[in-house]
Structures are given as C-alpha cells and as structure tokens.
Amino acid sequence: MPSGRSIFRLLRYSFLLDDPIGYLRSYEGIPQGMSLIDIIEMHGAIPRIREIISSVIEKESYSFERDEKNLKREAVSLYSAMIVTSSVKDNWLMNRFSISIAKSFGEELNGFDEETMIKIARDYLKIGVRFLAEPLVIPIRKLSRGDQRKSFTFSITIFDYMRLGKRLEGDEKWRFSNQLISGGMVYIQRAELQRLMEEAVYYKVLDKLKSISNDISDISILPPQLKDIAVEVQSQVAKRRISFYGESQIGGEGGGAIAYKPELFPPCIKNILRKASNGENLSHQERFQIATFLLNLNISIDDVLEVFKQLPDYNEKIARYQVEHLAGKRGSGIKYKPYDCEKSKAIGLCVEDCGTKTPIQKYKIELRKHLKKGGDNNDKSRDV
C-alpha cells in the first residue's frame, strides 16, 4: 500500500459490521457463551461508552481508536453506545449519533487508496461502484489557453446514486439532472464517492440504531451499568438539545426568554422543522424561510443554529455567518423577513393554504386564539 495511506482494520470501523459482537466471538477469541455485560466489564469499556456518547452530544464527533491493542475494547464500546443511544428513543440523538460516525468516517476516507475504498463500498456498504482504470475526461469550459477539463475516476449505479444522494439534493451540484450518466451508471469523482460513502454510513448506522430501538421496550430492561448511562444520556440530551416541539421557552436576542408555541407554527414551518429533525437536507429556500421565521420571533441566533446543526452538511462557521447576516448583524444591517405566502406557494414551500399573507401572521393569529382560550397559566408570549 502506498506510503502515507491508512491501513484498513475492520475492528476500527466496527459499525460496518452487521454483528460486531458476533465477529468478536468468531474471530477475536471472545468466548461464545459470554454475555455482553461480561464482555464490557472484561474490556473495561464503561468509561469509553460514556465518552463516545458525550462526544456525540456535545461535539457531534467520534474519535477513532488508533491503538491496535484497544480495537476490541473500541468495538465493544461503540456497539454498547449504540444500544444506550437506541434505548433513549430520541430521534434527534439517533440522528446526531449517525451523523457523527458518518462525518468522522468521511475524514478517514482521505487516507485510503482507491482499491480499499472500492472494497469498503462494495463489501460493507453494498454500493455498486466501479473504478475506472482510465479516467473519463470531458471538456467543461473553453478558455483562451485551452479547454478546462473534468476527470471522472469512478462510476456508481443510478439506483445507488439516487438512494444515497437524497439528503443532498438541496445542493444543485448533487441533483440527478446535473450528472453525467451513461449505461445505467453515474460518473463521479473521488470526493463525490467519499461523500456518498459517508451518506451510506449514515443510513447504515441509523438503520441499526432504529432496529435496536425496536427491540428495546424501555431503558429499564438494560443491564444496570448501561441503564445508569442511559439515564445520564437522557439528562444530557434534555439540557443540550433545543426541541422546537418539546419546550415552551428558549433564549431570545437581547436577553431573557421568549415564550413560543411550536404546535401553533404554520404547516410550512412545521414541515421544514420536521425535515431538519429527521436529518434531511434543506433547500436554500427552506433554510432561508426557517431562519428568518425564527429570527422574527426574536429567537436567538444560537438557538436558530440548533436547527441547522441537525443537517448533514452543517458547517458552524458558514451557518453562523449566514444566520447573522439574515438577522441584520452583518452586511447591510437589514433583518430579513420570511417569504410571504404567495412566494412560498410559487417556490413549493406551502403545504397547506392557511388563508393568510405571511407565516408570521398565521402564527400570531393562532397564538391569539390560544391566549383567548386561556392558554397556559405561565404563558408570557410577547409581540402578539
């Protein structure tokens, strides 16, 4: 293997395995009759389980184990962390866990040669991909000094491109209509294959978490050691995550808390929030609409960013700059308003005719109705 490249060790990437504990029993000398909790204790994995989940919640990141001697412990720890995460039954957490693993693995792919990438894609991610021994080169722009060319070194089946690219369609670059297609294959470059493999890992991990969650009725059935961690995780999630469907107050710009009623949000806004919470990518118009709507309810920039943190292409620096610009904190100083209902219908954001002119107007109407009915005793909504 070329110098400077990474060596692929399956145990380092145990999330690629359908049954990592079974793999340990079959190939790594773990006794067949040993229970999971005994395996955890044998490897002293409890601190690492806590560390993995805490890093996911606080940093949306996962650090791969580099020490070969600790790879068994890491495989046990990661699988156990997935069990704990699934037992909490929180979609935001499961999505964040999946994104954390996927993004970290995407960075790992930078160190692999093409042969190893193809093996991982085919054998563990079930992607129909081919390596082109002779790259396909096409001219894309005529310049005074000659043509600018684009070189494609991989091709992927149309089915897999559409399957793995569905969260990325908000970016024109990924739209199916903008791809080079021939013979049932979509031609892509290495960076694009890495991104699609990252998406494949996201779906693989998320599907595994959901499957485990379906098998666990409640955290009470977990072994005491894992149950204790699950209770801690529930508390961490409650403190860390801003849920626009579960809380009644969040921080407002200029200090203090602003009350809001997410159940009264217009259908178009609820739909965008639902997509974000599911980890789906949002179009430019959807991002603009949700950011400006929330900002015009005096919701803080940091809390608006919590919505964007759930997106697959989240970049803290870029997202903060854009939200601050929409809030009037940068550039012209103008605070932008969300699209009105007529514009929303024209660009496909409207999901139900509310009979109002703007989403803010619809929200205020519903909020007034709520308050006239008595609302909540501690409701302190402002600017109604």
Least confident of 288-292, 304-308, 333-337: 304-308
pLDDT at 144: 56
- Read off the tokens for 97: 């866990």
Tell me the C-alpha to C-alpha distance, in Å, between residue 21 and each of 11, 38, 52, 213: 11, 12, 18, 17
Which residues neighbour 327 within 8 Å (Cβ) at sequence distance 6 or greater? Answer: 253, 295, 301, 335
Q: Residues 345, 350, 352, 357: is their CA dihedral positive or negative?
A: negative
**Cβ–Cβ under 8 Å, residues 113 and 2:** yes
pLDDT at 24: 92
State mean pLDDT over 124-144.
84
Whole-number average pLDDT of the chain: 87
pLDDT at 145: 61
In whole angstroms, give the CA distance from residue 38 to residue 35.
5
Tell me the C-alpha to C-alpha distance, in Å, between residue 27 and each of 8, 20, 126: 16, 10, 22
Evaluate if residue 180 carries a pLDDT over 70. yes
Q: Residue 341: how many CA atoms within 13 Å on its side-chain side?
A: 15
The verdict on whether residue 154 carries a ligand-binding annotation is: no
The verdict on whether residue 242 carries a ligand-binding annotation is: no
State mean pLDDT over 197-223.
95
Cβ count near 55 (within 10 Å): 16
Taking only Cα atoms into account, the Rg of the chain, rounded to an integer number of angstroms, comes to: 24
In whole angstroms, give the CA distance from residue 73 to residue 325.
46
State mean pLDDT over 119-135.
95
The verdict on whether residue 350 carries a ligand-binding annotation is: yes
pLDDT tens digits for 348-360? 999 999 999 999 9
- Read off the tokens for 57: 């919640």
Q: Which tops the pLDDT comparison, 247 or 282?
A: 282
Q: Which tops the pLDDT comparison, 206 or 143?
A: 206
Beta strand ranges found along the chain (DSSP E): 129-143, 146-157, 180-182, 185-188, 249-251, 257-259
Evaluate if residue 129 carries a pLDDT over 90. yes
pLDDT tens digits for 248-295? 444 445 444 345 678 899 999 999 998 888 777 788 899 999 999 999
User: Whole-model pTM?
Assistant: 0.77
pLDDT at 98: 93
Evaluate if residue 381 carries a pLDDT over 60. no
In whole angstroms, give the CA distance from residue 82 to residue 97.
8
**CA nearest neighbour of 71 among 15, 145, 144, 146:** 15
Q: Which tops the pLDDT comparison, 237 or 365?
A: 365
- Read off the tokens for 192: 């694009």
Q: Which tops the pLDDT comparison, 280 or 317?
A: 317
**Cβ–Cβ under 8 Å, residues 95 and 225:** no
pLDDT at 17: 94
pLDDT at 256: 40
pLDDT at 312: 66
Q: Residue 383: how many CA atoms within 13 Å on its side-chain side?
A: 11
pLDDT tens digits for 59-96? 888 999 999 999 999 999 999 999 999 999 988 899 88
Q: Which tops the pLDDT comparison, 219 or 3?
A: 219
Which residues neighbour 273 within 8 Å (Cβ) at sequence distance 6 or greater? Answer: 244, 245, 262, 265, 290, 307
Listed ranges 28-32, 103-107, 370-374; the one with the highest mean pLDDT: 103-107
218-228 burial, b at 16+ Cβ within 10 Å, e below that, comes to ebeebeeebbe
The verdict on whether residue 188 carries a ligand-binding annotation is: no
Q: In degrees rounded to 5, what are phi and psi of residue 271? A: -65, -40
State mean pLDDT over 139-163.
81
Reported confidence tier of residue 236, pLDDT bands at 50, 70, 90: confident
pLDDT at 329: 95
- Read off the tokens for 167: 């969260």
